[in-house]
């Protein structure tokens, strides 16, 4: 039975502007419109944009922060947790998703894609790292979210 | 300025019955009635009871799990995250609270009280470890939640 | 069969002077003289003193650091590792010991005592937190190390 | 000033046989012969082979385990630590190296390469993931170790 409220981890760089920011925001919006919950790393850039898109659409966005407190949480999160474990919070982000959508992204995103695959989460890439057949590649936010929900059977 | 929705981490044993369970449930209820959010370790016992009390009162409970997935989340959580870091999730639980209420508890609870104090969170004990002047001792759920909100200035 | 080279985690405050420093140094020396390996948090104070005692006696001291690099390792460690997980490295320190000796100590030490008990490591207190029957109390470095090795059956 | 005993994190799959095992063993041997210390994840496959090569050559190999105890440490480690944090120990492995050599490898290795790059460690690939210009590619153990030491300026 597929989850009734799929958790979609949206990962990507902490700095994003222009098209990349808008793409992540669109991903968040589409996840929320389909009844999903956005999980992200809680900071800026792609994380903020995905949370923003989800909550602007009336959905829920949860941020999982690397810090010992919730002070750096972006302004668009419904809820945030603080792990206190630095980059090990990347593991928590992907473990908390039923599927992972990588939007653009730098080295931290790469680590999240690797961790996701290691713990058995399917990964969709929207302009992110090219990891061959291990990752589903989507050319647009619509197709990325479609692929993510499709991978979950919902 | 005190937080508008204080996060109260409720920590305690993963097995609890009878009075202990009801005390934790009452703590959760009272936190929710005062507008607070319950954060807990997401499993059974005190964690379940606190989440149950909060959501039965119309509030929110967030569970932070030690596992690589959300499968063991108790049935009363509003949301759950999975850290994949075992007992290191205890650090995430206390970092995610603005204040910590320990209800009964065994060794894991002791570790959470120590971690909370280490990262600067005030701790209230309701029938938990006696740590002298480092912890506020409360004799009832009402007084424990009162002390917790008092320590936050709300 | 007891371990041939018992790992003794020595935990305590990152600042220590005078008697406390000398006690931790003596603990490290005695562990090394009995063929044990000292494991510690790798920084200053009690951690440094225990490592110093061990290596001055020709033994081995391993430091497990909270940081993303080994830059803050004290000068007396044989080897150091960097966890990058902040206070979650306290869990690694106690998991890496077969037994834990707490020398003095503040909140971080309390967290380590709780985590040690949670993961099933016996704990010896030398002037550290009073946790009742859960911890063996020793009045001197000699008796602390004796108790630690006794608890391991060596 | 380059480190006098560079720590080389050797990462790769927990199962390895034949050529892959021998390549990792050769990497370990060469690191030890140049005065380096091998750091690895402490389990089998590439981790075991690298530790074996290092200690067979008279060098030192440190294993950083995901478990709460050191029970699964491979037989060729000089020392081992247990983090208790599951796959978050991958972060500790790469943080503990001054440079990272990836030998073959599956998803866990990919996560280690991403984490290494995130925390600023140079990465050498010996038959591992193709990450473009972000990673130095070496065709043999000799060239991989040469590249690793070269990246450290030693």
ipTM, two decimals, is 0.96
Positive or negative, the CA dihedral A12, A15, A20, A26 is positive
Instruction: State yes or no: pLDDT of D4 exceeds 80.
Output: no
Distance of residue D3 Cα from the nearest chain C Cα, in angstroms: 11
Contact D32, D57 (CB under 8 A): yes
* Residue A148 CB-half CA count within 13 A: 35
Residue B32 lies in a domain: yes
User: CB–CB of A91 and B85 under 8 A?
Assistant: yes
Size of interface A-B (CB pairs under 8 A): 71
The neighbour count for residue C3, using CB atoms within 10 Å, is 15
- At residue B59, the 3 state secondary structure works out as coil
Kindly state the helix (H) or strand (E) to which residue B107 belongs, with its residue range. helix B107-118
DSSP state of B3: -
For residue A65, the domain's CATH number is 3.40.50.450
The whole-chain average pLDDT of chain B stands at: 96
Structure tokens at A81: 């947790």
Q: In whole angstroms, what separates CA D120 from the centre of its chain?
A: 16
Rounded-to-integer distance, Cα A6 and Cα A92, Å: 16
Note whether residue C107 is domain-resident. no
pLDDT exceeds cutoff 80 at C2: no
**Over residues B12-32, mean pLDDT:** 96
**pLDDT at position D17:** 87
- C-alpha triplet A133, A135, A140: angle, nearest 5°: 120
Contact C88 D85 (CB under 8 A): yes
Please choose, from the candidates B118, A14, D111, A87, the residue with its C-alpha nearest in 3D space to the C-alpha of residue C84. A87
Whether D3 is covered by a domain: the verdict is no
Tallying the residues shown for chain A, one arrives at 154
Give the total number of structural domains in chain C: 1
Q: Check: CB of residue A63 under 8 Å from CB of residue A77.
A: yes
Cα end-to-end distance, chain D, whole Å: 9
Flag residues of chain A having pLDDT under 50.
1-2
Torsion angle, alpha carbons of B113, B118, B123, B125, to 10:
30
Q: How confident is the model at residue C1 (pLDDT cuts 50, 70, 90)?
A: very low
Tell whether the model's pLDDT for residue B1 goes beyond 90: no
Q: Name the band, by pLDDT with cuts 50, 70 and 90, for residue D1.
A: very low
Average pLDDT, chain D: 96
C86 is a domain residue: yes
C85 neighbourhood in chain A, CB within 8 Å: 85-86, 88
Query: What are the tens digits of pLDDT across the range D50-89?
Result: 999 999 999 999 999 999 999 999 999 999 999 999 999 9
The set of chains that have 3 or more CB pairs under 8 A with A is B, C, D
**Is A2 domain-assigned?**
no
> Are A74 and A44 within 8 A, CB to CB?
yes
DSSP class of residue D61 equals: E
pLDDT at D2 over 70: no
pLDDT of D146 higher than 60? yes
| Predicted pLDDT at C154 | 85
- Residue that has been written with the tokens 């800026």 in this structure: A44
Determine the structural domain holding residue C62 and report its residue range. 1-6+8-91
The 10s digit of each residue's pLDDT in B92-146 is: 999 999 999 999 999 999 999 999 999 999 999 999 999 999 999 999 999 999 9
In a domain, A103, yes or no: yes
Report the half-sphere exposure of A151 (CA within 13 A, side-chain side). 25
Is there a contact between D68 and B86 if contact means CB atoms under 8 Å apart?
A: yes
Closest C-chain CA to D86: C92
Residue B35, pLDDT score: 97
pLDDT score for D77: 98
Greater pLDDT, D17 or C67: C67
Chain B within 8 Å of A79 (Cβ-Cβ)? Answer: yes
């Amino acid at each position: 039975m597929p989850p009734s409220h799929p958790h979609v981890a949206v990962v990507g760089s902490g700095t994003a502007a222009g098209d990349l920011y808008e793409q992540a925001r669109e991903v968040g919006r589409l996840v929320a419109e389909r009844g999903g919950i956005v999980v992200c790393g809680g900071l800026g850039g792609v994380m903020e944009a995905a949370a923003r898109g989800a909550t602007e659409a009336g959905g829920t966005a949860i941020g999982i922060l690397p810090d010992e407190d919730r002070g750096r949480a972006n302004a668009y999160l419904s809820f945030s947790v603080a792990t206190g474990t630095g980059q090990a919070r990347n593991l928590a982000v992907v473990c908390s998703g039923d599927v992972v959508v990588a939007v653009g992204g730098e080295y931290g995103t790469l680590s999240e894609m690797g961790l996701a695959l290691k713990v058995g989460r399917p990964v969709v890439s929207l302009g992110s790292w090219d990891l061959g057949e291990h990752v589903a590649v989507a050319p647009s936010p619509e197709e990325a979210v479609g692929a993510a929900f499709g991978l979950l059977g919902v």
